[in-house]
A and B are shown apart, each in its own frame.
Chain A
Amino acid sequence: MAFSVGEDLFSVLTITGIVIIFVVVLCHSYHVYMERRNAYQDFNLALDIAERLVNQVLAADGGQPGVIKPSSDRLENYSKILALHGTNLRVEIRSFSGELLFAHGIKPDLFKEYFSPPVSVSLPVALFWDQSSALPCELSVQVWRG
């Protein structure tokens, strides 16, 4: 291939520049795609954990489905199992007015780089109050790896 120093070299440089820009855009798109896919997977993991907490770990003994009774001991045991798989857990139960009624686990450090950023899932639940009543509140589960 013979280049003439002038038009051809200029064209090659221009096109090479354009290709580099496109490759950078492609890399960025791939990064965004992977980030979103991981966020989706982490969200599904957090949802699995939230459902397990409501249906098994915190389910009130002999109670109706959807009624929970907070227990630090049960949560501690469950957190240990998750920690073995490298997953950290924080559970909060808040009233609908935003008042914190129960919390378990350390808060994730927002400025720390984790293997995966914290993802949270909230589900409405009935908190066991006494034999005849349940308090409506929101169970918030935060999950992160690293």
Chain B
Amino acid sequence: MGEQGFGYITDMLVFSVLISTAALMLTGMAPVDPRVDSARYASSFAHSVLYLLQNTSAEQFGGFEYKLDTEFEPDLPVVGDSAKRELRYKTITQLLAEDALLNLHVDIKGAEFQVRRPNERMDEKLRIFLKSTLDRIIGGRFGYRLRARTEVADLGSARVHFESEVADLTRARTQLCTETLMLSLPVSREELAWHIEELTGIDPNEAGFEIDPILEVTLELWSR
């Protein structure tokens, strides 16, 4: 082979390498399926889910009910299903707010203090209900994590708060968005302070803590 022919082949090979690099770059730059990877879509979707939870009643998702725990009050007369509470007409966010109020957690010196509450089962039942509701609304399009929490009331020796989480992060890859909804608990500041005092024996006002009866509901969506 002549020297010039060899040079010509080398030029062509370099040219081919440049073309394949350009092709690879183009393929890499191209956006993937927007339904799966669009943070904007996920954000809009998460907003819509939170509004939906705020506007629709539990009845629309099969209804919500639980039984009051009457074991620690043996004198309470319970006939048949009279301990059952049916909350079909409350919206899902109203249920969350009620759960937060009825099932506040009390931590004393870093360990959770087990307070016996008649509505304890609501917490667990509501998590199951929320999971099935979110599975139905989101329908496998995204991985999700829904968190509901109140501000931590630090009363010195005791800390009072509420936190609940429902998630399905199976096959979740990257977090696309976080959207938050602020809800008012269905009590006044004074009533909440009185409720906390009942649980802990400490008056939050005397402890110098100003309580905000607000529940923060956060929904994260993850790509799959």
Binding site for B on A (CB under 8 A): 1-4, 7-8, 11-12, 15-16, 18-19, 22-23, 25-26, 28-30, 32-33, 36-37, 39-40, 43-44, 47, 50-51, 54, 64-67, 96, 121, 123-126, 133-136
**In contact, B41 and A1 (Cβ under 8 angstroms):** no
Binding site for A on B (CB under 8 A): 1-2, 4-5, 8-9, 12-13, 15-16, 19-20, 22-24, 26-27, 29-32, 34-35, 38, 40-41, 44-45, 47-52, 54-57, 60-61, 136-137, 139
Residues of chain B within 8 A of A123, CB atoms compared: 44-45, 48
**In contact, B4 and A2 (Cβ under 8 angstroms):** yes
Indicate whether A39 sits within 8 Å of B5 (C-beta atoms), given known contacts A19-B16, A96-B136. no
Residues of chain B within 8 A of A66, CB atoms compared: 47-48, 50-52, 54-55
**In contact, B2 and A3 (Cβ under 8 angstroms):** yes
**In contact, B5 and A136 (Cβ under 8 angstroms):** no
Q: Is the interface of A mostly helix, strand, loop or mixed?
A: helix
Would you mind naming 17 contact pairs between A and B with Cβ atoms under 8 Å apart?
A: A2-B4, A3-B2, A4-B2, A11-B1, A11-B5, A18-B12, A19-B19, A25-B19, A26-B20, A33-B26, A43-B38, A66-B55, A67-B51, A123-B45, A126-B51, A134-B56, A136-B56
Indicate whether A125 sits within 8 Å of B48 (C-beta atoms), given known contacts A11-B9, A26-B19, A133-B57. yes
B189 to chain A minimum Cβ distance, whole angstroms, is 25
| Among B35, B54, B56, contact of A135 (Cβ-Cβ < 8 Å) | B56
> How many angstroms between the C-alpha atoms of A21 and B26 in the bound complex?
17
A146 to chain B minimum Cβ distance, whole angstroms, is 20
**In contact, A22 and B16 (Cβ under 8 angstroms):** yes
Residues of chain B within 8 A of A23, CB atoms compared: 19
**In contact, A51 and B4 (Cβ under 8 angstroms):** no
B86 to chain A minimum Cβ distance, whole angstroms, is 16
Residue of B nearest to A14 (CB): B9
> How many angstroms between the C-alpha atoms of A3 and B29 in the bound complex?
41
B154 to chain A minimum Cβ distance, whole angstroms, is 34
Task: Return the 5 tightest CB-CB contacts between A and B, nearest first.
Answer: A66-B51, A126-B55, A8-B5, A29-B23, A15-B12
**In contact, A12 and B34 (Cβ under 8 angstroms):** no
**In contact, B23 and A25 (Cβ under 8 angstroms):** yes
**In contact, B31 and A36 (Cβ under 8 angstroms):** yes
B55 to chain A minimum Cβ distance, whole angstroms, is 4
> How many angstroms between the C-alpha atoms of A4 and B19 in the bound complex?
28
> How many angstroms between the C-alpha atoms of A81 and B20 in the bound complex?
44
Residue of B nearest to A31 (CB): B26
Residues of chain B within 8 A of A37, CB atoms compared: 30-31
A2 to chain B minimum Cβ distance, whole angstroms, is 6
> How many angstroms between the C-alpha atoms of A65 and B49 in the bound complex?
11
| Among A1, A124, A125, contact of B8 (Cβ-Cβ < 8 Å) | A1
**In contact, B31 and A40 (Cβ under 8 angstroms):** yes
B218 to chain A minimum Cβ distance, whole angstroms, is 17
Q: Which of A28, A30, A65, A136 has the most CB of B within 10 A?
A: A136
**In contact, A33 and B2 (Cβ under 8 angstroms):** no
**In contact, A51 and B44 (Cβ under 8 angstroms):** yes
